[in-house]
């Protein structure tokens, strides 16, 4: 008998495939489910993800974790930034630890995908959101920390006033544009990968 899901041989009396766990027989007395082979889909993007993209993502996260946790995020002026902007050092430490978590997540997702584990594509899609969300959240957190520090340093100046002033700064405007582009890229990347892996769900069957 042949498994209707993965196409591998199954003992005649078995109700489930020992390879992928799929049901191979219907109700008692009914014939086995016929084998319906899945289309032979290209896997180039999958190979790129597990051999290139995830390794680069781990290196990217490692570089940010090292910069934030060692206090070298702003080069030679790091100490000056930390002295002038109260809370920036704590923010960098928190996000440095978050990037360490991203590294752990990368390793886990890569192993799940490479082993064709059940649910691996869903883990990969969550990773896309989490990894990008950390970077976006850091940019927003820095804006809040800087605005708060300026508000506390200048009496009579409200938080909203500082935000308005920052919005007029060309550097802040450029950062905001990059943030919007990042959100658009995140959405496109998520949708395209979901479409790609939804067509290949039948391959990820290992427990």
So what's the pLDDT on residue 169?
A: 85
So what's the pLDDT on residue 202?
A: 86
Length of the chain: 207
So what's the pLDDT on residue 27?
A: 45
DSSP string, 6-74: T--B--TT-SB-TTT--B-B-STTSPBPPP-PPP----HHHHHIIIIIHHHHHHHHHHHHHHHHHT-TT
Reported pTM = 0.76
Closest Cα partner for 102 from 145, 70, 59, 137? 59
Closest Cα partner for 111 from 154, 55, 72? 55
Here the tokens at position 110 are: 């890569």
Q: What end-to-end distance do the CA atoms of the chain give, in Å?
A: 22
Which residues of the chain are under the pLDDT cut of 70? 1-2, 4-7, 13, 15-16, 19-39
DSSP string, 131-152: HHHHHHHHHHHHHHHHHHHHHH
So what's the pLDDT on residue 179?
A: 84
């Amino acid at each position: 008998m042949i498994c209707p899901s993965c196409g591998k041989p199954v003992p005649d009396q078995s109700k489930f495939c020992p390879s992928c766990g799929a049901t191979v027989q219907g109700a008692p007395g009914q014939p086995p489910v016929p084998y319906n082979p899945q289309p032979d889909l290209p896997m180039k993007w999958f190979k790129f993800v597990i051999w290139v993209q995830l390794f680069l993502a781990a290196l990217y996260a490692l570089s940010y974790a090292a910069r934030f946790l060692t206090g070298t995020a702003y080069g030679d002026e790091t100490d000056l930034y930390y002295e002038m902007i109260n809370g920036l050092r704590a923010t960098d430490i928190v996000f440095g630890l978050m990037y360490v978590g991203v590294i752990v997540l990368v390793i886990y997702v890569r192993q799940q995908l490479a082993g064709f584990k059940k649910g691996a594509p869903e883990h990969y899609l969550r990773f896309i959101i989490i990894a990008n969300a950390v970077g976006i959240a850091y940019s927003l957190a820095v804006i809040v920390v800087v605005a708060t520090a300026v508000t506390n340093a200048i009496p009579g100046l409200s938080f909203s006033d500082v935000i308005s002033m920052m919005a007029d700064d060309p550097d802040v405007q450029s950062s905001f544009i990059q943030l919007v582009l990042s959100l658009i890229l995140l959405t496109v990347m998520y949708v395209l990968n979901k479409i790609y892996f939804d067509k290949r769900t039948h391959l990820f069957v290992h427990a």
